[in-house]
Structure 1
Amino acid sequence: MKVIFYTKEVCSLCDDAKALLLMLEREYPFELEERDIYTNDEWLEKYQLLIPFVKINDVTLDCEQVNIDSLEQALKQNV
């Protein structure tokens, strides 16, 4: 399973979200692909106000939805 994580440097919310993902990775193995929104204009335009933004197959979680429960539920759905 692949988890795409849209982030940027110097983002405390992104750091927290990544810590949650790494904690859950032990129970739900996945490949984490981090994408810095400042390396791609399309990502910057689309996700600038939504980061941290997590995509797990068809499930997407924006900055207001990312928490331990929502991440675990999305991972369970896609195992």
Structure 2
Amino acid sequence: MQVTMYSKENCSLCTKAKIVIEELSEDYPIDFQEIDIYKDDQLLEKYQIMIPVIEIDGNEVEYGIIHKETIQEYLNHLMKK
């Protein structure tokens, strides 16, 4: 499963979200990618006040405060397909 996190430097919520994804990667086949929105003007415009944004297989799953349970439920749903 491709998990993309849109983030920026010096973002405490992004750091916490990355920890959540790292913890979940121990139990799920996650291919993780982190993208800095400040390196792409379109992403900056789209996600400016939403970061961090977690996208799984192209679907935005959660943004802002990332809850491990929410991401885990989504991953479980994907595993059942």
TM-score when scaled to structure 2?
0.89
Deviations 1:25-66 (A, max 9, x none): 0001210011000000000000111001001123421114x2
Distance of aligned partners of 1:59 and 1:8 in 2 relative to their CA distance in 1, 3 Å threshold:
closer
Give structure 1 stretches of 5+ with no counterpart. Answer: none
Partner of 1:63: 64
Instruction: Name segments (4+ residues, structure 1) moved above 3 Å.
Output: none
Alpha-carbon separation, structure 2, partners of 1:38 and 1:78: 30
The residue type paired with residue 36 of structure 2 is D
Alpha-carbon separation, structure 2, partners of 1:29 and 1:20: 14
CA RMSD in angstroms comes to 1.1
Give structure 2 stretches of 5+ with no counterpart. Answer: none
Helix, strand or coil at the partner of 1:50: coil
Give the drift of 1:11.
Answer: 0.3
**Mapping 1:1-79, distance limit 5 Å:** 1-57=1-57, 58-64=59-65, 66-79=66-79
